[in-house]
Amino acid sequence: MTAAYSIEELRLAAQRRLPRALYDFFDGGAEDEVTLQANRSAFQAVRFRPQVLRDVSEVNTQTQLFGRSIALPMATAPTGALGYGYPGADVAIAKAAAAAGIPYILSSTATASIERIANAVQGRLWFQPYTLKNRDFFWGLIRRALAADCEALVITVDLPVGGKRERDHRNHFAVPFRFTPHNLWDFARKPPWCWRMLRQPFPVMENLIGLAQQQTSASALASSVGRNYDTAFDWDMLKQVRDVWPKPLVLKGILHPADAQRACAIGCDALVVSNHGGRQLDGAVATLEALPDVLTAVNRRIPVWVDGGVRRGQDVVKALALGAQGVLVGRAMVFGTMAAGEAGAHRALAILQDELIRTMQLCGVARLADIDADLLMPVAKTAG
């Protein structure tokens, strides 16, 4: 892993190791993948305007969140089904996050339970309960998160239905999983992956056991979740969550300023500007482009983070310069972990940390508090 110098190199390593269907599942987006690409393009379009001859011999990347210090302005994004690609991937990312001093967000569809992560890792654990039609099961997940002493609850609100992910259709990748000559050949072409997966029981989405009777395989449980997203979940339901959950409540999936204002009024403690990594509504605005209006609507009442497209440490600096308090890191962690398990997860965060510090030094800022819009080249205004 020390030979991987960028998240892109980790992506390529993951691509080499995984069967195509699995790689595309983690890498892909919805429909034409316009939003998937837009997230990355938005970061690439921003330009720095650094100032020089400043003392950057000591760089401080610490920040505050919910009254506690974190070592980097990052958290790992919730990601499901990782055990398909690498055994123990969820625990691996949680351990890497704890070692780096940043929060880890566990997905409902992870292949490790809330309890297993809490017992295995001493770090800042947040939990993302998907909104399910089975309300008793949904509230049960929240009670389990509270019993496991999760620091925060993350409600993802951009998933009333699943997005149309056409790569999965083309690869015959579906839930419940079905074997076809196409995907059997795909798997057979990756013997190391096959060997590692066959040495242990097939992964299970442990948080969801009991959601549907006699559904214990990862694929069957995932199918059950897809049929059980609660399309009726609304602001009144979110208010009920706020009333029940006594700790920080984070709302993930906000793009519209009106929704940001309403979230503040309900009492959410932080927002994540997110379009689900381009995996839901294709054609949705890039998150970095949506960030300024959301920040204006929030007006510094609560922290606003941004999710989607972060591949470089410089992306973190750009997000902070535009007003975000931090970023979620999703696919970067997935690529590292799919390439080399826990070592790859540590490497992904090490790359981002090194690039963050280096970018700050090259831009002439030694503290996160010194990063502001003056660091960026103003967008040229169109005449007329």
Task: Report the catalytic residues.
Answer: 276
> Which residue's structure tokens are 């974190």?
70
Q: Residue 355 and residue 339: Cα distance in Å, rounded?
A: 20
Helix (H) or strand (E) holding 12: helix 7-17
Q: Return the beta strands (E) in the chain as ranges.
A: 63-65, 68-70, 74-76, 104-107, 125-128, 152-156, 249-254, 270-273, 304-307, 326-329
Q: How many CA atoms lie within 13 A of 322 on its CB side?
A: 29
CA dist 142 and 140 (Å) reads 5
What distances in angstroms separate CA 330 from CA 137, 184, 377, one per listed residue? Answer: 26, 28, 27
Structure tokens at 140: 């049960």
CA 298 to chain centroid = 22
- The token pair that represents 99 in the structure block: 């070692």
Phi (first) and psi of residue 269, to 5 degrees = -95, -15
d(CA 215, CA 221): 6
